[in-house]
């Protein structure tokens, strides 16, 4: 039977309207808070392409009004689609109001699990965008995306992750977090996002995201604002994640 859905998010961010536009409507900007590698073919007849480890999706731009409104839609098999609409309102003192409407349709009869994963993941990515605009606006990150091995026991895997980060059983925004991973700089920051399927850590030079993937593995989606070797960092995190789980 399927399910049509819509989610609305909004925030006031410490960035100008032009900085928000760069974050949502350019490839390097989207790389700095969203998943995978992204490319934007700009303009009202343009497109947005996301490559996540060889899985590529392309959306068609449906609204292009810089720096006020940007929207695009990706269509899948059957009636499946997901659409994003961003509305930006510049305010005084280099701040802006950002509104996001995400909508779509899931055609499968067993859409509930996928819908839950999409909406919980959507919360994380919107808050990552807000964190990026509040703390790193005008800078572009190197994304590090890593998929770990299949997880057989999620409560144990989450407990191991929290322990590695020096966190308790119920981490909260603001809790200090530290982690040493061989081959990458020491992580020293604080929790800036937590829900049932994701944990976010912000440091002085990065946004670190640990995600319970829909397909049964931990997924790491980090955005690093220091100079790094992307391949070396990815391999280091992959080795660490494999040992963790």
Provide the CATH number for the domain around residue 54: 3.30.530.20
Nearest Cα to 81, choosing from 1, 7, 5?
A: 5
Structure tokens at 185: 């700089």
With beta carbons less than 8 A apart as the criterion, state whether 63 and 70 touch: yes
Are 12 and 130 contained in the same domain?
A: yes
Q: What is the DSSP secondary structure assignment for residue 185, as one 8-state letter?
A: P
Are 40 and 58 contained in the same domain?
A: yes
Are 219 and 155 contained in the same domain?
A: yes
Are 121 and 187 contained in the same domain?
A: no
Q: Is residue 114 over pLDDT 80?
A: no
Q: Is residue 110 over pLDDT 90?
A: no
Q: What is the DSSP secondary structure assignment for residue 155, as one 8-state letter?
A: H
Nearest Cα to 25, choosing from 81, 63, 52?
A: 63
Q: Which domain holds residue 59?
A: 3-135
Alpha-carbon distance of 56 to 37, in angstroms, equals: 9
This prediction has a pTM of 0.94
Counting residues of the chain whose pLDDT is more than 90, the rounded percentage is 82
Give CA separation, 244 vs 110, 113, 148, in Å: 31, 26, 9
Counting residues of the chain whose pLDDT is more than 70, the rounded percentage is 100
Q: Is residue 118 over pLDDT 90?
A: no
Show which of 100, 117, 135 is a domain's final residue: 135
Structure tokens at 129: 């965008």
Are 195 and 100 contained in the same domain?
A: no
Packing angle, helices 154-164 and 230-244, rounded to 10: 120
Segment 133-172, tens digit of pLDDT = 999 999 999 999 999 999 999 999 999 999 999 999 999 9
Alpha-carbon distance of 233 to 80, in angstroms, equals: 35
Are 198 and 130 contained in the same domain?
A: no
User: How long a stretch of residues is the chain?
Assistant: 245
Show which of 135, 160, 187 is a domain's final residue: 135
pLDDT at site 52: 86
Segment 23-80, tens digit of pLDDT = 999 999 999 999 999 999 999 999 999 998 888 999 999 999 999 999 999 998 878 8
DSSP conformation letters of 67-134: TTEEEEEEE-STT-EEEEEEEEEEETTTEEEEEEEEEEEE-STT-HHHHHHHHHHHHHHHHHHHHHHH
pLDDT at site 226: 92
Structure tokens at 162: 């929290």
Are 122 and 203 contained in the same domain?
A: no
Are 150 and 230 contained in the same domain?
A: yes
Show which of 119, 135, 151 is a domain's final residue: 135
Of 47-51, 109-113, 183-187, 198-202, minimum mean pLDDT range: 109-113
Are 122 and 216 contained in the same domain?
A: no
Give CA separation, 192 vs 26, 211, 220, in Å: 25, 14, 16
Mean pLDDT over the full length of the chain: 94
Alpha-carbon distance of 55 to 51, in angstroms, equals: 6
């Amino acid at each position: 039977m399927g399910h049509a859905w819509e989610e609305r998010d909004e925030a006031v961010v410490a960035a100008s309207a032009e900085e928000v536009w760069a974050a949502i409507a350019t490839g390097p900007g989207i790389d700095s808070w969203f998943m995978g590698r992204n490319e934007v073919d700009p303009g009202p007849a343009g497109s947005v392409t996301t490559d996540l480890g060889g899985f590529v999706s392309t959306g068609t731009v449906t609204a292009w009004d810089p720096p006020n409104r940007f929207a695009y839609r990706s269509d899948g098999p059957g009636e499946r689609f997901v659409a994003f609409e961003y509305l930006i309102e510049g305010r005084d003192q280099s701040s802006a109001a950002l509104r996001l409407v995400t909508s779509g349709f899931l055609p499968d009869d067993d859409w509930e699990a996928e819908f839950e994963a999409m909406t919980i993941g959507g919360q994380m990515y919107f808050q990552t965008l807000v964190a990026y605009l509040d703390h790193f606006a005008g800078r572009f990150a190197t994304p590090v995306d890593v998929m770990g091995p299949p997880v057989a026991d999620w409560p144990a895997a989450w407990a191991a992750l929290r322990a590695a980060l020096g966190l308790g059983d119920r981490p909260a925004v603001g809790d200090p977090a530290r982690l040493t991973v061989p081959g990458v700089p020491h992580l020293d920051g604080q929790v800036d996002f937590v829900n049932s399927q994701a944990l976010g850590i912000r440091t002085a030079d990065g946004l670190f995201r640990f995600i319970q993937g829909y397909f049964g593995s931990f997924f790491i989606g980090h955005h690093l604002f220091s100079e790094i070797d992307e391949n070396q960092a990815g391999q280091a995190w992959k080795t660490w994640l494999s040992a963790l789980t």
